[in-house]
Amino acid sequence: MMLRDWQVDPLGGRLLHVDMVRVTRDTRLKVKVPIQITGEAKGVKTQGGIFEFLLREVEIECLPDDIPDHFVVDVTELLVGRTLRVSDLPVNDRIEVLTDANRAVAHVIMLKAEAEKPAAEVAEVAPVEPEVIRKGKAEEESAAEESGGKKEKKES
């Protein structure tokens, strides 16, 4: 028997329902296996990069007895600009990885820093006052006169 799915009470956290599947030992199964990262990348420690964990699980196909709990990957040698791919995972010959081998699992990147302006440049730029547009009674009357006539008075 293999656990397929389960339901948990969102308020109490109790297990409500479990779906089990009967499998035979000679049938290959497609399952998703989580990836665990260990270590701290050199690109983060020495180069000031940022580590991004992009793919948290991979889909594999294997016999039920060969299903791993997880894949452990050591990222201590990962430098800025380097990418850890699915093909780099420690997989034995009894397991077939169905996820694309070129897909990125993790990488270390460098953020683009915005160039700071020198203080002299900042001081030279004068603050710009916003233009205030007002429409008052005087403007309305002058607009009516320009259009060719006097402002009409309403009769009561």
Q: What are the pLDDT digits (tens) for 30-64?
A: 999 999 999 999 999 999 899 999 999 999 999 99
d(CA 77, CA 88): 13
Does the predicted model carry a pTM greater than 0.85? no
Q: Has residue 126 got a pLDDT over 50?
A: yes
Using the structure block, give the residue that is written with the tokens 């270590």.
Answer: 39
Q: Has residue 97 got a pLDDT over 50?
A: yes
Residue type, 31: V
Average pLDDT, the chain: 83
Sign of CA dihedral 118, 122, 125, 128: positive
Domain residue spans in the chain?
28-109
pLDDT band at 21; cut points 50, 70, 90: confident
Sign of CA dihedral 96, 99, 102, 106: negative
Pick 28-109's CATH classification: 2.40.240.20, 3.40.50.2300, 3.60.150.10, 2.170.120.20. 2.170.120.20
